[in-house]
Structure 1
């Protein structure tokens, strides 16, 4: 096994890893993910939040078992810098008033070129501000829900101004907790891999991130290691298997931990205020698991067929 395989083999192990790429204009997000797969040698690679080929910026690449987090992480809110070109003259005051009306919940229909069904949808614009203006060119900062079409937003702002408008350029500056300053280029990633081949893993270690960074802000619940294997088999976590926890509400998504290991993500079956560690009561139902079975001791097993049913196990 060569040095590259030895170094990068650890990326996909255990709970997977994340690499933040500053996507250039031109290639699709799928192509960038394919290049990362080729550079790292990791077979399982995905990404959260597609960027169209003309769009640049933060692209969160998931490697190994972290790919299982795609369905959760793609929901993270996003931030963009957009360049809008108005097709007529509009005063600053009128433009600012129109922009103000687009803050909050808005209706959008995906463009005809979109790969998703063109059903009317509701998205929230959390923040929308004009950063600069040069005649009919307007620089906007947009903080919004995932799945917001900035091209449509620019078009609608132009219509509301009474002159029309379209998006000229777009860059994603944040995805969830990750900012553009956290990203590396594909060239930097390749250079780091080449250095790792020679035995210097310093640069690569700085690029590779833990999935826990992407789950920042999500409540955590720490379980006993004796309960971890049952969770990996799909069992629900009970108060008996809990050591400590953050505050959360019923139906919240919670991060399930065993020591420093990320076991997976689950849905809360009760509020944290009702938990009594050591007592009966199902607390979390796993939604996705990142660890293999057999890593932790299987002390949860019982002797009757009924008690061995994982869906009824109380860990």
Structure 2
């Protein structure tokens, strides 16, 4: 795998990596992947997200697994389940946007043209009241709808696609659209089709995971399982990157802030205050931290610290 920059890579210094330092993600063994990977489960309707994570953990025989972005029991689709050390990165997936396909049921007949017209103003910043069923305190929250696409309408059922900020309640969106229409509406079905950079093309059914695990354990064939377990580094593809030299890794791993002499490349999209993911020259993730300066300053300055990992 190659490091994917949000902007363009800016070279600060030339450096090479030593063979005995670290290990490229694609060369990890299966046990290593199961301790530093992520599987994008196609969550079925019925179980909770926590149950699905527990099933994956027990199936793989690992100590720790955790999901990013809880889905209600009746909601299906993209559920990233991080494995082992990969669980440290689940919060970073919340930074990325989410995409859903929803069936909204209107409480009375409405013309399609009217539905299309009413949905348009919901793109942008919206105020949402947390649903009664939610596991958090009920209060108004500001969220952003990036895109809202009407797909089709059959009777009182409206199919639409929504791209939104993490933490947006599609159930509440349906209720609010119904209020604006004057007829009332509720969410009938919901499927998450994308979380950050992970979409439906990455999905793994639980049965397929079980079959791949059997193939590895019983037939010593790890190819099917390798196709399903993604290195944890991909969980931060949507975050600006900093690449460091081998000699800077140890200090960073022991909690030191990143000093400028250790930087080899920086993402042109990095701004002061942004989160940044720090990678080695072998494309391994080392740390996540807050940038103390813009990309251009990192390239031009000689001394000081550019990233706070505290």
Band of TM-score, shorter chain: 0.7 to 0.9
Unmatched tracts of structure 2, length 5 or more = 1-27
Match status 1:129 vs 2:149: yes
CA drift of 1:226 comes to 1.1
Structure with higher Rg: it is: 1
Q: Given the alignment, which residue of 139, 142, 155 partners 1:119?
A: 139
Partner residue in 2 for 1:192: 212
* 1:178 equivalent in alignment to 2:198: yes
CA RMSD between the two structures: 1.5
Runs of 4+ displaced beyond 3 Å:
none
Q: What's 1:240 paired with?
A: 261
Q: Which residue of 2 aligns with 1:301?
A: none
Q: What residue is the counterpart of 2:227 in the other structure? A: 206
Mind listing any 5+ residue stretches in structure 1 that lack a counterpart?
1-5, 288-315
- Spell out the pairing of 1:81-92 with structure 2 (5 A cutoff): 81-92=101-112
Task: Tell me which of 22, 31, 38 is aligned to 1:18.
Answer: 38
Residue among 268, 271, 278 paired with 2:291: 268
| Superposed displacement of residue 9, structure 1 | 2.4
Asked whether the 8 Å contact 1:8–1:41 carries over to 2, the reply is no
Alignment partner, residue 300 of structure 1: none
Query: Aligned to 2:230, what secondary structure does the other structure show?
Result: coil
1:66 to 72, 86, 96: 86
TM-score by length of 2: 0.87
| 1:279 correspondence with 2:299 | no
Tell me if the contact between 2:33 and 2:231 (Cα under 8 Å) persists in the aligned partners. no
Give a deviation string over 1:87-146, Cα, whole Å, max 9, x none. Answer: 112112211111001111111111111111112100111111110111211101111111
Q: How big is the shift at 1:75?
A: 2.9
With structure 1 as the length reference, what TM-score do the two structures score? 0.86
> Match of 1:297?
none
> 1:48 aligned to 2:71?
no
Q: How far apart are residue 8 of structure 1 and its match?
A: 4.6
1:84, 1:168 within 8 Å by CA — same for their partners in 2? yes
Please list the CA deviations of residues 248-307 of structure 1 after superposition, one character each: whole Å capped at 9, or x if unmatched: 1101111101112210111110111112478211101115xxxxxxxxxxxxxxxxxxxx
Distance (whole Å) between structure 2 residues aligned to residue 108 and residue 263 of structure 1: 37
- Corresponding pairs, count: 280
**Equivalent position SS for 1:111:** coil
2: CA distance, partners of 1:269 / 1:261: 22
The CA distance in 2 between the partners of 1:172 and 1:92, in whole Å, is 24
Change (3 A) 1:184 1:270: same
| 2:277 aligned with 1:251 | no
